A and B are shown apart, each in its own frame.
Chain A
Amino acid sequence: MMRRALAAAIGVVAVAAAPVASAEPPAGAAACSGCHPASARVTSPVPRLVGLDQAAIVRAMQDFRAGKRTATVMDRIAKGFTDEEIQAIAAWYAAQR
């Protein structure tokens, strides 16, 4: 019962997210897939961003930028983005399927 309600809720979210998912990526978002695989078929230690939780992406980027999270290149890249840009990129990837 609970599960069905949850599934329905997820369904609603997915439908609501659909127009966002097809929207043009915000500034900077398209470049990420140079390293973060767009396809699930690619084997990489670098995580796929598609469908990740928006808040998790935002937190990771802020931590990289602040030097609170260990990184090889993401610390250097995160410093090039504002809070607004990070929010927009995270929202876009969260809505992708």
Chain B
Amino acid sequence: MKASRREFLKSALAASAALLPRSTFAQGSGPRVVVVGGGFAGASCARALRQSDARIAVTLVEANATFTACPFSNVVIGGLRELSAQQFTYERVAATGIAVARATATAVDAQARAVTLADGTRLPYDRLVLAPGIDIRWGALPGYDEAAAGHLPHAWRAGEQTLLLRRQLEAMDDGGLVVISAPANPFRCPPGPYERASLIAHYLKTRKPKSKLIVLDAKDAFSKQRLFQQAWAELYPGLLEWVPLSRGGKVISVDATTRTLVTDFGRHQAKVANVIPPQKAGRIADVAGVTDRSGWCPIDPVTFESRLQPGIHVIGDAAIAGAMPKSAFAANSQAKTCAAAVARLVTGATPSAPKLINTCYSLVAPDYGISVAGVYAPSSGQLAEVPGSGGVSPAEASRATRAIEAGLAEAWFRTITAEVFG
């Protein structure tokens, strides 16, 4: 199985390398930009670059043929959406004249300005954009390694892990204990653990009402907290319990075989355990030398160029983007800002000061949506929230308003995925 999969991958890689237009490797005329990572950040940036200047030869390096989106994957876990609704291919991206290299980037030579792919192909660049998303910090939580994730899914990169968690919930008897472990900041999608808790609670309430859900948290505060807690009290009383850091919520180790999560205050043996572990920038960022000691990537707030390696830009979840959260909307907004800056830099022009937006919806129930929004601008070398702007949905709002926001959440997903992959 392993060997045949490897063989298949090898031939797929060879085929994809052969499919690369000649212009990918060496173009005499236009500037060359290589983008690594085909998620909301990378694919958006590649397309925005092509749109801003058709003379730029853009190569998008992505290991997977199919992208599986994280936003709305909590609805899949809650049993109300299929994973196929989360999946997108790169056909339309390639049709815009972007060379899509289906391969893993294994090395970056920042001096010579070239990326090396797993099959040895070298892609020279004038500017490199890294959009690698997140990697799990395996081992940072004692007992939680790749094997443990097969029993206690993280489901924090959507795909097979999402389905595993859903199947475990479906297989659980009514009356079981479900435990979610939420990490300390920073991590991908700050309100994500709480949306997930909400939609699992919704599943339990409608299908397995004698069950209980505990969220063990390594923090005392979280995104949209007041709105979530208000909705939990209304929708899931007695079913969903949140345990903050100060009340012993921080998970310090796990035992995958017995599905036990250990805190300083006790042990929780779960029927289903979702461990959302500590994270860091995706691997290629480390390889390229653009991560600092935090494991994330410091950047310039105007261009998203790395503070550590000139000529390399970092966008999306991997970047330290000041006040901007690690969300798909933020990644898309950053991608377009970075593309405009790169398009100027490769022609010797000076990038102008940007303004960025984030809007992020969470579902507390299928017909109950809440949001956070923010506007950001460079200030003292960081992306800072524009004073007086942004904030969360009002605490006092009718269920009709919450239903409108749930509808807007779905519209947002359709819109952004159409822009990036359609």
Contact = CB atoms under 8 A, between A and B. Distances in A.
Contacts of B340: 24-25, 30
A72 B404 contact: yes
A39 B337 contact: no
Nearest to B334: A31
Contacts of A41: 418, 422
A37 B414 CA distance: 9
Interface string A20-61: 000011011011111111110111111000000000000000
Contact of B419 (A33, A43, A45): A33
Nearest to B389: A80
Given A31-B333, A34-B333, A80 B412 contact: no
Given A27-B355, A28-B355, A76-B391, A45 B371 contact: no
Contacts of B389: 76-77, 79-81
Contacts of A32: 357
B375 to A, nearest CB: 2
B170 to A, nearest CB: 31
A72 B415 contact: no
Nearest to A33: B419
Interface of B: 48, 52, 329, 332-333, 336-337, 340, 343, 352-357, 359, 371, 373-377, 386, 388-391, 393, 401, 404-405, 407-408, 411-412, 414-416, 418-419, 422
Interface of A: 24-25, 27-28, 30-39, 41-46, 72-73, 76-77, 79-81, 85
Given A30-B333, A31-B332, A72-B408, 12 more contacts: A24-B340, A25-B340, A34-B333, A38-B419, A45-B411, A72-B393, A73-B408, A76-B391, A77-B375, A79-B389, A80-B355, A81-B389
5 contacts: A34-B419, A39-B419, A73-B373, A77-B357, A77-B359
Q: 8 tightest A-B contacts by CB?
A: A80-B375, A80-B389, A28-B355, A31-B357, A30-B336, A80-B386, A44-B411, A27-B355
